[in-house]
Structure 1
Amino acid sequence: MSFLIFFIVTLFIAVIQTFIPYLVKRTIVFGVSIPEQYIEDHMIKKYRKHYSLSVAFLSIIILGSYIVWVLGNERVDNQIALTGVIIEFALMLISLSFYLYYHGKTKLLKQQNKWVENLKAMQVTDLSVRKQDEMLPWYVYLLPILSTVGLMIYTIMNYDILPDLIPTHWGPGGEADAFTDKTPISAIQLTLVLLIMQLMFLGIHTATKKSGIKLSATSLQASRNRQLSLRKYSSWLLFIVLLAITMLMSYFQLMMIHPEIGEGTVKMLIPFGFLLLVLVGTLIFSIKVGRSDKELETRVEARIMDLDEDQYWRGGMFYFNRNDPSIFVEKRFGVGWTINFANPLGYIIIFLPLILIFLISFL
């Protein structure tokens, strides 16, 4: 089971990393903004193709080696899991290295060809686009939050029948593999962590809903489609992932109170089902958003371009813009959102809950 889980996750990472150049915003190439007039430049196409082929080739070699290593000898789950984690990080590091290489080449290509000279930067605003926004309302998050509060109360009511050792970690097969002594806090520790995660997800949803909708002056309809698709599908993915996490962690909590529900293959199938749901949902989201601005024909006036915001992006990955009130903005490499690191509210929404979870889990 450990091998299957890590193989699926690694394969997913490899596929996403391979096709990322074709899923990002149409006018962003390796984190560099390119005027609409030049996105079909033969060098741009060449860079994208070489990146994808390089990442795919190395991914096949790494995955093949992993399979041979696992099947060649008897391996224990700990060895398989540790090697799987190392391979996943190695793939991400390899793709990041190729990204940084082509980011530099694309930036240099843009400068050498003077693509932004003699082009007038324009910014457009469409006040009606907010009315078309189909993001989920914030109150849908009350359902998982209330269920977690109810589970916390139920755990306290059944404190006397809880085992003397409270599970704190579960392996890939759903088996508890770490424990702590029973106390009132340790008994509800898992539900506390879950509740903090739910509040963090609600904060992320609220912040992205209030984020600015940036439209392109040179491809208004395509950019509108992408922004609306990004907001709609990311809100659904965020909520579905939260529901999946809530069900998984609630199952582990209930299994502590009623061990009989963890008998048989159920405790192995539930984590596996959670993994598939998250991966498939993420893949569908990436494809939906990634293709949303590439299916329309765009006619561009020869002398206009969108505002060039390259100066606000460090390496095309980290966004620092004190003049932008948005807490989250669309990624330049990848599909989804990233923090505006110049807005302190983003740190509170993301890092404060993570610190609290760390304190509850390890102290």
Structure 2
Amino acid sequence: MTLAIFLVIAVILAGIQTAVPFIVKRTVIFGVTVPEKHIKDEKLSSYKKKYALLVSLLSIIALASYVSWVLGSSPSEGQTVLIGTIIQFAIILFSFTLYFYFHGKTLQVKKEMKWGENTTQVQIADLSARAKDEMLPWYIFLLPMVITVGLIGYTIAQYNLLPNQIPTHWGINGEADAFTDKTPVSAISSLLMLLVMQAMFLTIIISTKKSGIKLSATATNASRARQLTLRKYTSWLMFLTTILLTGMFSFFQLRTIHPDIVDGTIVKAVPLIFLFVTLGATIAFAIKVGRSDKISIGETNTGIRDYDDDVHWVGGLFYVNRQDPSIFVEKRFGVGWTINFGNPIGYFIILIPLALIILFSIL
């Protein structure tokens, strides 16, 4: 079972990493802004194909070796988990290494070909796009927080029923494998961490909704479609993730208070349901957003080009722009959002919750 789970995760991870150059915004290739009329350049297309081939080839070799090792040597579950985790990180590391290599190659091509030097850079604003924004309202994210607060109250009321050793970690089989002494804080520490995560998701949604809708001057319709799709399904994915996390944490907390509340089959199923639903939703999100700007009807790009903000992207990964009030912007490698490191509010949104989660885990 452990082999199958890690194999499924690794295959999905490898698939997403392989497809990244083909699902990002079409005018951004390996983190570099490319004028609309050059996005199908033969060299750039070959870079994408080489990246996809190398990542997929390494993934196949690594996963085949992993399966052969597990089936041939019958390692312990801990060893299977450890090596499976190492392989997943190796795939990510290799894909990022290739990304930086082709990022440099793409920058070199852009510089040598002098793309866009004889055109005017244009930034546009479309106030009507806000009216079409279908992100979920922020107050929807209060529902799981109310559930968590209610469960904290229930735990305090049932404090005497709690065991002397409070679970702090659960394995992939749903059983607790790490414990700490019972105290008023340890009894609700996992729920406090959950509440912090819920608050972080809520803050991210509010900040994302307030972030600017960046449109292309040369492919306005396509970029509008992508931005609205990205925003809409980001809110849905985050809400689903929050609900799943709330359900899983609540299940484990109730089982700590009432050990016989369910049988072993359900205990094993809960983490797997969370894992596979989350992975499935992430894949659907990436596909939906990746396909949203592939069709551009009636677009023109003669004599103008989009504002080239490569100067604000460090390595095409980290966005630093103090003049941009947006806290989150669309990623250039991968699908989703990244922080504007030039806006200090972003640090508070991410770092403070992480610090609180670490503090609660220590206590």
TM-score (norm 2): 0.99
Residue deviations 1:280-335 (CA, integer Å, cap 9, x gap): 00000000001100023464332110000000000000000000000000000100
Partner residue, 1:233: 233
Q: Residue 348 in 1 paired to residue 348 in 2?
A: yes
Partner residue, 1:153: 153
Q: Is the deviation greater in 295-304 or in 285-294?
A: 295-304
Q: Tell me the CA shift for residue 3 of structure 1.
A: 1.8
Partner residue, 1:284: 284
Partner residue, 1:29: 29
Give the whole-Å Cα distance in 1 for the aligned partners of 2:36 and 2:79.
49
The one-letter code sitting in structure 2 at the alignment partner of 1:265 is T
Partner residue, 1:273: 273
Partner residue, 1:257: 257
Residue deviations 1:22-72 (CA, integer Å, cap 9, x gap): 000010000000000100111111111111011011110011111111111
Partner residue, 2:317: 317
Partner residue, 1:168: 168
SS at match of 2:169: strand
SS at match of 1:169: strand
Q: How many residues align?
A: 363
SS at match of 1:294: coil
Partner residue, 2:138: 138
Give the whole-Å Cα distance in 2 for the aligned partners of 1:332 and 1:163.
48
Give the whole-Å Cα distance in 1 for the aligned partners of 2:296 and 2:123.
20
Partner residue, 2:179: 179
CA, structure 1 residues 245+150, in 2 after alignment: closer, same or farther (shift >3 Å)? same
Structure 1 residue ranges, 4+ long, deviating more than 3 angstroms after superposition: none
SS at match of 2:294: coil
Q: CA-atom RMSD, angstroms?
A: 0.9
On the 8 A contact 2:221/2:297 being kept in 1, the answer is: no
On the 8 A contact 2:103/2:315 being kept in 1, the answer is: yes
SS at match of 2:326: coil
Partner residue, 2:124: 124
Question: 1:325-336 to 2 correspondence within 5 Å?
Answer: 325-336=325-336
Give the whole-Å Cα distance in 2 for the aligned partners of 1:298 and 1:80.
54
On the 8 A contact 2:319/2:339 being kept in 1, the answer is: yes
Q: Tell me the CA shift for residue 73 of structure 1.
A: 1.8
Give the whole-Å Cα distance in 1 for the aligned partners of 2:246 and 2:132.
30
On the 8 A contact 1:5/1:172 being kept in 2, the answer is: no
Question: 1:99-118 to 2 correspondence within 5 Å?
Answer: 99-118=99-118
SS at match of 1:259: coil
Q: Residue 307 in 1 paired to residue 307 in 2?
A: yes
Unmatched tracts of structure 2, length 5 or more:
none
On the 8 A contact 1:219/1:299 being kept in 2, the answer is: yes
Give the whole-Å Cα distance in 1 for the aligned partners of 2:23 and 2:244.
25
Give the whole-Å Cα distance in 2 for the aligned partners of 1:225 and 1:301.
18
Residue deviations 1:115-172 (CA, integer Å, cap 9, x gap): 0210110111111110000000011011100000000000011100110100000011
Q: Tell me the CA shift for residue 75 of structure 1.
A: 1.4
Residue deviations 1:190-228 (CA, integer Å, cap 9, x gap): 111110110001011111010000000000000000000
Residue deviations 1:325-362 (CA, integer Å, cap 9, x gap): 00000000100000000111111111100000001102
Q: Tell me the CA shift for residue 2 of structure 1.
A: 2.1
Q: Tell me the CA shift for residue 5 of structure 1.
A: 2.0
Question: 1:4-43 to 2 correspondence within 5 Å?
Answer: 4-43=4-43
Residue deviations 1:238-297 (CA, integer Å, cap 9, x gap): 100110011011100001001112422111111001001100000000000011000234
Give the whole-Å Cα distance in 2 for the aligned partners of 1:161 and 1:299.
66
Give the whole-Å Cα distance in 2 for the aligned partners of 1:9 and 1:43.
32
Partner residue, 2:68: 68
Give the whole-Å Cα distance in 2 for the aligned partners of 1:333 and 1:297.
25
The one-letter code sitting in structure 1 at the alignment partner of 2:195 is L
The one-letter code sitting in structure 2 at the alignment partner of 1:122 is V
Give the whole-Å Cα distance in 2 for the aligned partners of 1:346 and 1:4.
38
SS at match of 1:230: helix
Give the whole-Å Cα distance in 1 for the aligned partners of 2:38 and 2:243.
42
Identity over aligned residues, as a percent?
55
On the 8 A contact 1:325/1:343 being kept in 2, the answer is: yes
CA, structure 1 residues 298+24, in 2 after alignment: closer, same or farther (shift >3 Å)? farther
On the 8 A contact 1:289/1:335 being kept in 2, the answer is: yes
On the 8 A contact 1:36/1:300 being kept in 2, the answer is: no
On the 8 A contact 1:37/1:302 being kept in 2, the answer is: no
Partner residue, 2:49: 49
On the 8 A contact 1:35/1:306 being kept in 2, the answer is: yes
The one-letter code sitting in structure 1 at the alignment partner of 2:127 is L
TM-score (norm 1): 0.99
Residue deviations 1:74-119 (CA, integer Å, cap 9, x gap): 2111101111111111000000010000000000000000002101
